[in-house]
Each structure stands twice: as C-alpha cells, then as structure tokens.
Structure 1
Amino acid sequence: MSLYPTASSQNKRIFTVSSLNAQVRLLLENEMGVVWLVGELSNFSAPVSGHWYFTLKDARAQVKCAMFRGNNQRVTFRPANGNQVLVKARLSLYEPRGDYQLIVESMQPEGDGRLQQQFEQLKMQLASEGLFAQSLKQPLPEEPKRVGIITSKTGAALHDILNVLKRRDPGLPIVIYPTIVQGDGAAISIAQAIGRANARQECDVLIVGRGGGSLEDLWAFNEEIVARTIAASQIPIISAVGHEVDVTIADFVADMRAPTPSAAAELVSRDLSAQLQKINQRQQHLRHAMRHYLSGRQSQLVRWQHRLDRQHPQVQLNQQSQRLDELRNRLERAIRKQVADRQQHLHRCEYQLALHTPAQRLEKLSAQLNAQQRRLLDAMDRRLVNARHQLAIATETLDAVSPLATLARGYSITRNDNGQVIRSAAQVKTGDTLKTTLADGDIRSTVTD
C-alpha cells in the first residue's frame, strides 16, 4: 500500500495566497459574528487617518485590533496603554499580511462596560421571552384604595413619595415594605418584598424604586430575579428607579415606569384633574410601547447593520486604509533612514574635504615650491661657481696655446694675400705681398729675391 496520497485523493482546488486570505476573512466574519472582549490596551496608535490600532492582551495572550474613525468617534474617553476595556468587535483578517485581527465597533472602560453588557444581554433575553410585551401589562387602578411602597425605609425616595401623597391625597392609605436597595443581597430583598405584598393582597398598586445613583448603585433593579418577580406580580407595579435618565430592567418589566419616585406618587394619588391623570397614564403606556417597539427595531437594525458591514465596500476601504497607514509608516521610516544615511555620508565627505581642503594643499604646495626654489637657487649658484671655475681653467689653457702668447714671446705669423700662412719659402715668389703679424702689430712686405 502506498504511503503517499494519490492524485484522486488530493484537493483539486489550488488557492493563491490572496484568495486564501480573502476566504478565511469571510469565514471569520460570517461564522463568528460579533464578540465581546475584555483586555488591557497596549501598543495604542492613532495615525493622521483618524483610525486607531492597538493590541488587547491578558496574562497569556494578545490579539491585534483596529477601530476605524467612524466608530472611535463615539468613544467617550481617551484610551491609553494599560487601560482595561470592554470592546464589542467582529473577527476579521487583514489580508495583505494574513494577520488575524478584531474590527472594534465600540469600547468602554471595563467596569461600566461589563455591567452594560450584562444589562443588554438580560434585556435581550427577557424581551425574547416576551416579558416586556404590552399585552402582559396590568392597568393601574383609577382610584387606588391602598398603595404599597417597596424601597429603603431610610432613603430619600420614601421621603419624596410620602410628601407628594400627603400633598395630593392625604387620606390615601399607605403600606411600606422596607427593603435594601443597594449592595449584596439587595435584589433578593426587593424580590422578597414584592412577594410579601402579593401574599398579603392588602394593596392594589405597588411602587418599587429608589433614588438616583450610578449604574452600579442601581444594579439591584437590573437583576433577573427582580425582573421575573415583577413580571409574576398579581398587583400592578410602578417602577420608580433613579432619575428620569436612569433606565433599568425593572422599568421594562413593570406595568408602568415613573421617571422619579415623586412622579410615581403622583401617578397613584387622586387629584382633581383626573382626566389629565388618565391622559398621562396613556402617554406613559404609549412611551413604554414605543420604547419596546424602538428597542425591537433597534435590535433588527443592528442585525441588518452587521449584515451590511460584512458586504459593504467600506470593509474593503477600511482594509485599504489600514494598508495605507502601514505603508505610510514604512515610507516614513525609510525616509528617516535615508536622511540619516545621507547625513552620515555628508559628515564623512565634510571630514574628507577638511582633510583635502585646497587651502591646506596650496599651503603645502607653496612650501614645496619655496623649497624647490631654494634648491634651484642653490643648484644655480653651485653651477655658476663650477662654470666660472671651468672658465678660468679653460682661459688659462687657452692662453697657454694662444697664438698671441706665442707672438708675445718673439714669434710672428706671415700670410700671403689669400690669407694662407707661409710655412716655407717655396710658397712665395718675387713680387708677392706678404703680411707679417707681430705681437704689437702687422708688417707688410714685398718679395724681391
């Protein structure tokens, strides 16, 4: 049996690197979808493009992230290396390098982010179960006979509710079910108070709430046990938690939401303007229905947005923008290196130029020329002395053999008219004119015999 795969057993499809990376990116984005991730920021970078690039890490691993300008403009704090954050992101792949990365859509500090994430998850869960459905809402009694208040017996909320009820309807009976509204065990205490009120059946409407605070302070009213207890209550419940801007899970489950504890007291108290109260109640129902409707549409919009993001050209543009940032960084590094190299080369040239500067060379050549001139003058002097000495010797030698010197010793030279020297008497004849040269002059004579 062959140990090697045959041609028929091998995958017939052959990928290029780019097509493989594109296929892997689509698999990551389509299969994984949106993820929530907690980690520490590091290598944070914000180039001129406005995009953010960073790494999320924990004690054992890390992952590269990109947050494009359209998303990071909604971040309410300035990220810095070392921050613990919660991010909402989708998995992707940076195709040019084949790097697995996260495309971050939102970012929050870890503490608030975790609570907000739990809030959204429980909200979606309960909404999918129908606990927010308008059909489950119980109408409030038009003229309550007794009102139950579930809150802290020492809190400002109870004081505000009692003041409003005393002012608007002093004769309205009130039952207080004290509970803790913050910290460990608060959610169980609130649920038990609602259970006691339902078991006694002594009130026909309940106000459940507390004063304002942070998301963490109000967290007991976002617990699942409180939400399910409110949904199961046979007595209509008004949620009156915090200020008007505070929204809790209890607000969505309750039969009515009041923006403040004082507003809840106004809803259950009788007033001369009863018709206005009915209108207000209907407005509250409408707002609640609209919030529920808008919440559902928002969830649907988010799903559509995610589908659009996966297919939108902006994804490719973001990839190209990230690639552009990377190339820009590489270009800047290359330019800086080239400038540094050129500067180093310039320094070397300046040093070499300083060593071979024309001034120094001229000075050196001038010194050499002066030395050569001195040597030439010395040589000329020696040559002249030698020439004079040779001339003196030659003069003496010439004087020694000079005819004049011979003439001076008493000798004479005789020539004919042709200038020939007469060395023999046979050279002359009668009538020739001769010229005899003596030391002190010439004598002309004529031959007679």
Structure 2
Amino acid sequence: MSEISREILSVGDLNRAIAASLEDRFDTVWVSGEISNFKAYDSGHWYFSLKDEEGQIRCVMFRGRNGQVGFMPQSGDLVEVSASIGMYVPRGDIQLTIQTLRRAGMGGLYEAFLKLKAKLAKEGLFDEERKREIPTHPRSIGIITSPQAAALKDVLSTLARRTPHIPIVLYPTLVQGPDAPAGIISALKAAEKENAVDVILLVRGGGSIEDLWAFNDEQLAYAIANSSIPVVSGVGHETDFTIADFVADLRAPTPTGAAELAAPRKDQLLQELDAIQQALLQRINQRVEREAQTLDQLALRLNHALPNPDRMREQITSWQLRLNQAWSVRMENWKRNQSHYQSQLEMLNPQRTLERGYAVILSKESEKLHAVRKPSELNTEQGYQVQLAEGQAEVKFSEVVQGP
C-alpha cells in the first residue's frame, strides 16, 4: 500500500479506536494501590490516581457509584478497586472507571457492610421521613458508650461547657468486640424503659473497620430505628461511616460533634430569651399604636356626629390617658416578670453555688455518679469525686468523723 492510499486518522479517531480496543480487551479488573491527588468536585464525582512503586494510573469514580463507598478517601489511603479500563479521549489518557472502592485488606468486611447497607436502605431504615427530630432544649441527655472510652471524656467536657444545667445519664456498655452489639442494644432498651432522657448520644472514638464493626450489626440497626428516643450517632472520625450512622436520627462527625448537636449553648438560650422579650415588646407597641389609630378615627367620627364635640373630646382625652396608663402598667408588669424569670434562671444555675465556695461530693460506689447527701454515706474504702467551681478532683478519705 502506498503512502498516498493509506488512511490518515485524526487524533480523536485514533484515541477512540484505542479506547474501543481497551474496552474489548479487558473485562472488569481489581486493582490495588495508593490514592494520590484525590479531588472531590461539586458535581459529586471523584478524580484521583492509583500508584505503587512501579507506576500510576488515572481514575474516575462517578457520583452514582461513590455514594456507596461509606467513607471519604484521602490521598495516601491504600485501597482496592474494581474498574473497567478505558481512555479519556480528549486528553488521550488511559484511565480506570471505578465501580467499587474499599480499603485495602478488608474485602470481606467491606462486602458485608455494603450488602447490609443495601438491604437496610431498601427496607427504608435510612429514609429521612422516619427519622425523629432532635429536641432543641432537652431536659436530660443520655450517653451510651464505654466508661473507659476517651470519647466519654470529650463528650462530658463539651456538655459541661455548653449546658452545665442539663442532667446527664450514662448507660455503660462495651463498644468493641463480639459482645458489644448486644450490650449497646441492652443500653438502648434500658434508656427506653427508664424514660429519663430526651435524646441519646451513641459515641465511640475512631479506629479500624474491625474496631468499629460492632456498629455495623443488623440487630443494632433495627434497635436504633425502633428506639422511641431520638439517637445521635458520633462514631469514629469524620471520614468513618457505619450502619449506625445511616440509621440514627442524626449523624455527627465525631463524639464531640454529637455533644454539640444535642446540647444548645447557654449563651444561645439567653439570646433566645432576649429575642422573645424584644418581640413581645414590639407586639405590645404595635398593638398600642393600632388602638391609638382607632381612637383617632373614632374621635374624628364623634367630632362630626355629636352635637357637643368639646365634651366628647374631653372624654376621648380621658380615655386615651387611661388606656396609656393601663398599657404602661401592664408593660411594667411584663418587664418585672421577665427580670424575675431571668433572675430565677440564674439562681438555679449550679455553677453560681459552686462559685460561692460550695462543693459537691459525688459517690463512685456504682457505675453512675450520685451526690452524697448524708454523712453516713461517707467511708474510707471507696473513692469520691469532688466538683468545685473551677474543676473536679478525685479524693479518698483517710478518716470520717460524723458530727452530732
């Protein structure tokens, strides 16, 4: 064949031919490697490269697929992907179009996670319509976690800072290992039976998929979905996702985040109270203005209709004075009641009592802390926690002498 008769391809035609050849040659393949240059676009699509010590290849995972991953990948993560091989024609780059992505070395667990996630999603356990609303002003907050968990300290510290006046109830349980799911379910049932809290925080610190596997239990998912008390899930780090996160009424990125979502800040409550006061005063002023306008209209009508307008004007003036006086008295009463309620709220703040030099002794005899009220409850065998204005201390008495 001469050079003249040989077909000359455009770059696009050549790239399309190569892409078709790759698609015909390779079926879906599994590839492992390290993620680099990871980017998540506003469209929801992910773009990154997979690399090892011998090479790298570009990858794309579209929004419809990556929604099933269960965690947000980061550069440096070791992963395994199933993908089709093709070419991005405009750039001439060979790339993997990814259907499935999982952390490297956890194929079996990850497959079980995806299978259960798909099953529960089909049953509607993740639907927003069935999720309960988290109370904005809870009367008490329950915490389900291990007493030894570092997450508990973070949650208690956050709640003490934001809402020291709200009681806390701890439902201790294992949060890792084969016995953990049953323990968490029992804690949920105990909270429902006692009916002492308005919201439950289900929390645990971060870890591997094996460490967090208790929160991927199917029976636990049903228990959370059927709980009569709203549940806020704060399990692991921000990039960790478990079945409990999807079925809970609200998912927090961390245990601390769960505490922040469940507990309103004290200064925010005071601001809301002030806003209510201002709105009330505004409504009163508007009502007074409307009534004054009505009086003006009546005065005008009387001026034209009655034979003795001077006397009627005097009556109108008297009525206006009485009305203004009545509204003034009522507004002063409302203001006085508002100040009284604010003072009462501040007096009920336990922190004020501690700042006057008092302290609270908490008994650690059982898993739940409770205040010591009688000298007979003190002994030298057990330890106690003393709550002060600026912190707390662990103490143990060497001698207890009861007064008369």
- The TM-score, its normalising length taken from structure 1, stands at 0.40
TM-score by length of 2: 0.44
Structure number with larger C-alpha Rg: 1
Comparing both structures, which one devotes a greater share of its residues to helix?
A: 1
